[in-house]
Amino acid sequence: MSEEPKIYGWCPGALRPMMSGDGLVLRIRVPLGRLSRAQARAVAALSQRYGNGILDLSSRANLQMRGLSEQDHAPLIAALQDLGLVDTDAATESRRNVLVAPFWSVGDQTHSLAQQLSEALIDATDLQLPGKFGFAVDTGPAPVLRQTAADIRIERTSDGLVLIADGADRGLAVTPATAAAEALSLARWFLDQGGAPDGRGRMQPLIARRAPPSAHGATLTAPAPQQHLGQVASGRLVGLEFGQITATSFAALAAQGALRLTPWRMLLVETTNDIQPLPDLILDATDPRLQVSACTGAPGCLQALSNTRDLARDLTPSVPPGRQLHVSGCAKGCAHPGVAPLTLTATGADTFNLIYHGTASDQPAHLNLSASQLRAAPDILTKGS
């Protein structure tokens, strides 16, 4: 039986990094998810100076540096604070966990509400939420973040704005003037209802145990289709293999436009021009690598039981069109927390359970398949699925 992964109950931040197999992991919650060209180039230079020169996009559109040493943490934080990218203290950083739909324009409702909510959370020093508890501001014509983890959502309906407790099928009608305050009230309701025993917990399991507040009766809008690479109103979406890019390519991409982070392993480049090819970019919407997700794996992650990305690359050509493969180094499934059609979860060094239509911790259909077995007969992925 594989060893159970350690559940920390929080994710690394900038002021509270996490030790991993290749040094400290530092995660930047970029305000509004946008880096100016100058900020992006500076972050790339800092990654090369203090880290391993590789940047990752997280599943909540945060930017991650790896390979940092403890002695370099303080000067790196000072540099990031000078760039306006890091809060003054770890408690504020933890509360300001706001995911913003990347297609906003300056002054529109998503932009203004994200600013209001972030400021309200910074001021709410009494609010002691779990480390993973987060908010989403997603007020475009149709929600684009519905499949991304968030405990409290602000979306739009045909009648106006709605505040949603994650897992509920109805929400609370709010206005631009009340949305941020009501979001904080819902967070306090979550705590009052015992949603975070021992300081851990998420909204969805609470809603599964009980109904949302009685005032939540507004209907929700159907989500937008899955996002694809290419031109959108605010720029061009480009893909990253496993959400990873070298600092060199990141700086080169910033030369083509300001960068917005997304939770889809994509970057939104604020430009109407064609993007120049770079080694780490995926520009073709039919590229099969877009169908595969994989976590850092061993040895970079201390929780991972196996290398993941080499196997994921080798299996990519065998993933049928329209299907998704998730390769996870442990049962936590950090790279794809939700359900995937095909999931391989490491159970040991180069052995994996195969799960159909589930998460990395769900019941497997096949036990302890070796990496060499999967490479030799990749059709096993879809047999019986």
Task: In the chain, count H helices and then E strands.
Answer: 9, 22
- In sequence order, the 6+-apart residues with CB closer than 8 A to the CB of 198 are none
- The third-level CATH classification (topology) of the domain covering 288-381 is Sulfite Reductase Hemoprotein; domain 1 (3.30.413)
pLDDT at 4: 60
> Which pLDDT belongs to residue 280?
84
What is the DSSP track for 321-382? TT--EEEESSTT-TT--S-EEEEEEEEETTEEEEEEEE-TTSPPSEEEEEHHHHHH-GGGGT
Contact 253, 29 (CB under 8 A): no
Residue type at position 106: V
R_g of the chain computed on alpha carbons: 20
For the chain, what's the residue count?
385
pLDDT score recorded for residue 5 = 58
Cis peptide before 75 (omega within 30 of 0): no
| 288-381 shares the fold of 18-90+234-282 | no
Q: Which pLDDT score, from 0 to 100, does residue 10 have?
A: 60
- Residue 21: per-residue pLDDT: 86
What pLDDT is attached to residue 323?
93
Per-residue pLDDT of the chain (385 residues; tens, 9 = 90+): 445 655 555 678 999 999 988 899 999 999 999 999 999 999 999 999 999 999 999 989 999 999 999 999 999 999 999 999 999 999 999 999 999 999 999 999 999 999 999 999 999 999 999 999 999 999 999 999 999 999 999 999 999 999 999 999 999 999 999 999 999 999 999 999 999 998 899 999 999 999 999 999 999 999 999 899 999 999 999 999 999 999 999 999 999 999 999 999 999 999 989 998 998 899 999 999 999 999 999 998 888 999 999 999 999 999 999 899 999 999 999 888 889 999 999 999 999 999 999 999 999 999 999 999 999 999 999 886 6
- pTM, entire model: 0.91
Give residue limits of the domains in the chain.
Answer: 18-90+234-282, 103-219, 288-381
pLDDT (0 to 100) of residue 7:
55
Bridge-based pairing of strands 351-358 and 98-100 is unpaired
Q: What pLDDT sits at residue 336? A: 87
Report d(CA 378, CA 3) in Å as an integer: 26
Name the CATH architecture for the domain at 18-90+234-282: Alpha-Beta Complex (3.90)
DSSP result, 23-54: EEEEEE--GGGEE-HHHHHHHHHHHHHHS-SE
The pLDDT of residue 8 is 53
